Structure 1
Amino acid sequence: MSIDNIVNSVNTTDSSLSVAGLTAFYGASQVLFGIDLEVGRGQCMALLGRNGAGKSTTMKAIAGIMPSIAKKISLEGNDIDGLPPYRIARAGLAFVPEDRQVFPEHSVEDNLTLAAKAGSALRHEGREDWTLDRIYHAFPLLLPLRTRLAGQLSGGEQQMLVIGRALMGNPTLLLLDEPSEGLAPVIVQQIAVQIGALRKAGTTILLAEQNMHFCLHVASHVAVIDKGRIVYCDSAQALRNNDEIKRRYLSV
């Protein structure tokens, strides 16, 4: 499906995130060239691409962590373009970076509770707030570790912790940057199960990955990025059947 068609199809439904003309530089080097992206409410969209294609840069620009220029970045209809990261977070966006960034000298439970924020928007939609009990139910491996220092956790345990910590802020949109990177296959499977459960619960997710098989297992929609440009958008099922796009932009 063409990019224009997929954008128009998302615009006919409720849009959680809308990005138009997103451009970013590292010094004098331009790395994003007019990114257009729409994530519908309740969707799980995967931003797929090879290493260096611009996935993490796109996520950081949306979250306000790196400077960027855009025609529009809106979250739930509210303009967040140019806002500092803490205001974007307060607006309802939660960002889980690829390097996780736990608070290593604090316990698992401390890491979770420090991020707690009421989710009035979720209650308005008839959805429950995320609480400690819900986090431990969603990520049962964290419960027996609740008093352990976060710096003593394995990579997979830390990944579950930072996703749980992000959810404690009751976001309207969850950004996950390379959630499967560096993890053992069995842990990747567990992360996939949890993302699938979040999707079924109505959580809107944008995840950046180069693990195509992982993404096609959990995502409802995909956008492929190559050299800082979106080159393909469609449903996950459509990408499964499109060998040409997979070969051209996603094969190693």
Structure 2
Amino acid sequence: MTELLRAEGVSVFYGASQILFGVDAALQEKCTLALLGRNGAGKSTTMKALAGIVPVRSGRIFFAGRDITHAPPHARAQLGMAYVPEDRQVFPEHSVEDNLLIAAKSGPGGRRDWTLPRIWETFPLLTRLRSRQAGRLSGGEQQLLVIARALMGNPLVLLLDEPSEGLAPIIVADISRVLRELGAGGATILLAEQNMHFCLRIAQEALVIDKGKVVHRESTTGLSGNDDIRRRYLAM
């Protein structure tokens, strides 16, 4: 199986404060990997480092066989990395359809798997809202929109930061359905979450991060029965 994304010994600082301490991670093609941890454990900073939003002080990041440690975010996007931040960032004055069309492009190698008709089929809720301004959507509807918008760029890897945070259970179930369908269709996904139960239904493997360090890696099947790790690092 091909490895698409790797972090080796990644350390990140915010000013004088160190946030990540030598993080190692590897994501295989056509797999979904969950990055789990409590609030403040370093999940979002890890995602931002991978996406090029925050600089890496030491360590290296590789994507599709290239060293992208110091590549800007737009260069990573051109290589096929799509990042969905936790604060969603829709274009509020534009319609749902326009938000999708803004992001439409061919992926690496000219791949065009995701088109507007396929988005409407995969996200039926958005079909009914296609003419509504994105700023008038609920938080859950916006979350579905930004995932769909990321797919319109036909990426190789999808980075999702806290996609279920603060959302109603019915929307969380819809997002879970979409991500399971994407995974079954061969998508490669890195999912940062506090909600362990949400991730266990989607991912094949999990990394547990605590205080800026990766402390455990295991299959999600194994983690579901690992009471010690769950109690020490994931219990709220």
- Same fold? TM cut 0.5: yes
Within the alignment, does 1:224 sit opposite 2:231 as a pair?
no
Aligned to 2:83: 95
Secondary structure of the residue aligned to 1:60 is helix
Moved over 6 A (4+): none
Letter of the 2:31 partner, please give it: Q
Secondary structure of the residue aligned to 1:169 is coil
Query: What is the CA–CA distance in structure 1 between the aligned matches of 2:58 and 2:227, rounded to whole Å?
Result: 32
- The number of equivalent residue pairs is 236
Instruction: Say if 2:79 and 2:108, in contact at 8 Å, map to a contact too.
Output: no
Within the alignment, does 1:247 sit opposite 2:234 as a pair?
no
Query: What is the CA–CA distance in structure 2 between the aligned matches of 1:122 and 1:157, rounded to whole Å?
Result: 29
Query: What is the CA–CA distance in structure 1 between the aligned matches of 2:155 and 2:140, rounded to whole Å?
Result: 22
- With normalisation by structure 2, the TM-score equals 0.97
Instruction: Say if 2:95 and 2:131, in contact at 8 Å, map to a contact too.
Output: yes
Aligned to 1:8: none
Within the alignment, does 1:47 sit opposite 2:35 as a pair?
yes
The structure 1 residue matched to 2:149, chosen from 165, 168, 173, is 165
In structure 1, stretches of 5+ residues that fail to align are 1-12
Aligned to 1:59: 47
Aligned to 1:30: 18
Letter of the 1:62 partner, please give it: L
Question: Following TM superposition, by how much is the alpha carbon of 1:70 offset from its aligned partner in structure 2, in angstroms?
Answer: 4.0
Aligned to 1:86: 74
| Residues 40/122 of structure 1: CA separation in 2 closer, same or farther (3 Å cut) | farther
Secondary structure of the residue aligned to 1:59 is helix
Secondary structure of the residue aligned to 1:114 is helix
Instruction: Say if 2:95 and 2:134, in contact at 8 Å, map to a contact too.
Output: yes
Question: Following TM superposition, by how much is the alpha carbon of 1:71 offset from its aligned partner in structure 2, in angstroms?
Answer: 2.8
Query: What is the CA–CA distance in structure 2 between the aligned matches of 1:180 and 1:122, rounded to whole Å?
Result: 31
Instruction: Say if 1:122 and 1:172, in contact at 8 Å, map to a contact too.
Output: no
- With normalisation by structure 1, the TM-score equals 0.91
Question: Following TM superposition, by how much is the alpha carbon of 1:75 offset from its aligned partner in structure 2, in angstroms?
Answer: 1.1
Question: Following TM superposition, by how much is the alpha carbon of 1:217 offset from its aligned partner in structure 2, in angstroms?
Answer: 1.0
In structure 2, stretches of 5+ residues that fail to align are none
Question: Following TM superposition, by how much is the alpha carbon of 1:119 offset from its aligned partner in structure 2, in angstroms?
Answer: 2.3
Question: Following TM superposition, by how much is the alpha carbon of 1:122 offset from its aligned partner in structure 2, in angstroms?
Answer: 7.4
Question: Following TM superposition, by how much is the alpha carbon of 1:176 offset from its aligned partner in structure 2, in angstroms?
Answer: 0.3
